[in-house]
Amino acid sequence: MGEKLSKFIRLPKNLWAILIVAAVLVGVLLSIFGLWDRKNQNGDYITANVERGTVKVTVSATGTLQAVITVQVGSQVSGTVSWLGADFNSHVKRGQLIAKLDPALFQTQVENARANVTNAQAAVQAATVEISNQRANLLAAKANMEVARVQRDDAIALVKRYQELKELVSSRDLEAAQAQANAGAGRYEQAGAQVVQAQAAINTAQAKLEQAKASLAQARAQLEQAQVNLAHTIIASPIDGIVVSRNVDIGQTVAASLQAPTLFVIADDLTKMQALAAIDEADVGQVHEGMPANFTVDAYPGENFMGRVTQVRLGAQTQQNVVTYTAVIEVANPELKLRPGMTSNVVLPVAQRDNVLNVPNAALRFKPNLSEKDQQELAERLKARGEKLPSDLQQEQPAGSQVRQEGQGRRPSSADGGQRPGFRAMPGRAGTTGGGPRRQNQTVWLLSQGKLEPRSIRTGITNGRVTEIVSGDLHQGDAVVIGQNESASGSRPATTPGQPRPPGFGGFGGPGGGGPRR
């Protein structure tokens, strides 16, 4: 028959051998699949062992690397770049010339201001001469006033003499003498007015002199300002360091109208770096100055860099209703591997317990779904030992669930490394791996000889995967329940061979659970 079939279907012998081996492998795989499926059906509970080890709680955050001191070198005046003395990665010294602007316009302003100073100096000199002239006029007016006074007094004396000799002097002579006396008095008053006028002219000249001096001071200030602007066309490095960024080229025009444009960015010392990490407001209380920190950067995968927190800034940053605080982490960079602007993934150790018993977090969240008969039997066993049924024992399984797994029926919290209600994920969002101690008094379930046994324990810190056991009737190697098959409750029959299993069934990755997500 085989020969007839081989004659009818002509295939190479080696291909027939490959087909036969493939058929055998398919049969073996189907057998293994059926046995494993039966094993999953017969196992009502999924367990994990109580282990002893280290529980470490950390705060995770992302940050940006930068030099400890970074200076942005700008220009206070507008102009065209005519010369550059530094480029990217150039090492510069304090006071070293790194750029020049075209000084022609500012040189013209200096010459104009200098001419204004000269003009103001001439005005001061002219005002000084005017004061001298007015003082001379005042002296002449005072001399005329003295002459007029003498003439007036002589005329008055003559009138008195004629009045004494009026019997010998004609009335005409007396009248002429009186007229002469009155004229002398008038000339004296006129000379006095001229003295006052000369004094007023002196005061006016002095005021002009003060005005000229003020104009001179203003012109000198404008000259100094023009000279300062001319000096600003020469740009020097303010510190010793390395040029991180250069933002201009020769021939480019910079405008310093509202703010100084940045020409260069100079880092002081790249062997000392700092990471600015954004710490979530829920975790900032656990971060303090002096605590160690380690972080990684994408440029060197697998390599950890060590640092130390030197400052936790009080100012809050709010973006999309997420509040973070900046932690400054200083790190040594002797090999210059770290560069400004790199994104750092920071991990801050908050708490650590060594050589302690721990259980997966799924065991703390597990609540058995027992039938009324199983629950009654459990209550009788506990009553015989003088114990009570746990008050938080779940009465029935929620409809529509195939397998009870880690995280079902429970809202994620920051203590499990999850998100709080209303939390919106953001790039660079900080988070705690763990989140500190859980609710201390809790119940876990052990599987002893196929039956559930509750154990009350007191828990400590958690890292989001396992939780420390502070006290309780648990020992290393005990099997704690972290999940339950639906067939254990008796409310719905388990799947039979040949039927498709629930999505993700049996996908508990290790002791920590990690079953299918909703």
Kindly report the three-state secondary structure assignment for every residue of 292-305.
Answer: EEEEEECCCCCCCE
Q: Residue 381 has what pLDDT? A: 80
Q: Residue 432 has what pLDDT? A: 52
**Is the distance from CB of 403 to CB of 489 less than 8 angstroms?**
no
| pTM for the predicted model, two decimal places | 0.59
Distance between CA atoms of residues 298 and 303, nearest Å: 9
Q: Residue 103 has what pLDDT? A: 95
**Is the distance from CB of 341 to CB of 245 less than 8 angstroms?**
no
DSSP 8-state code for residue 385: T
What are the helix and strand counts (H, E) for the chain?
6, 22
Report the DSSP beta bridge partners of residue 432: 59
First vs last Cα of the chain: how many Å apart? Answer: 56
pLDDT tens, the chain, 518 aa long: 444 444 444 555 566 677 777 777 776 665 554 444 434 333 578 889 999 999 999 999 999 999 999 999 999 999 999 999 999 999 999 999 999 999 999 999 999 999 999 999 999 999 999 999 988 988 988 888 888 888 888 888 888 887 877 777 778 877 888 888 888 888 888 888 988 999 999 999 999 999 999 999 999 999 999 999 999 999 999 999 999 999 999 999 999 877 788 999 999 999 999 999 999 999 999 999 999 999 999 999 989 999 999 999 999 999 999 999 999 999 999 999 999 999 999 999 998 899 999 999 999 998 888 778 878 888 888 787 777 777 766 444 443 333 333 333 333 333 343 333 333 333 334 455 555 555 568 889 988 777 888 888 999 988 889 999 998 888 898 889 998 876 544 443 333 333 333 333 333 333 333 333 33
Q: Residue 427 has what pLDDT? A: 36
Q: Residue 301 has what pLDDT? A: 93
SS3 77: coil
Q: Residue 214 has what pLDDT? A: 95
- The CB density around residue 128, as the number of other CB atoms within 10 Å, is 15
Which distant-in-sequence residues (6+ apart) come within 8 Å of 204 by Cβ?
A: 134
**Is the distance from CB of 236 to CB of 130 less than 8 angstroms?**
no
Give the H/E segment covering residue 6: helix 2-8
- Integer angstrom CA distances of residue 432 from 162, 346, 416, 446: 126, 11, 9, 30
Q: Residue 185 has what pLDDT? A: 87
Q: Residue 221 has what pLDDT? A: 96
Distance between CA atoms of residues 516 and 499, nearest Å: 19
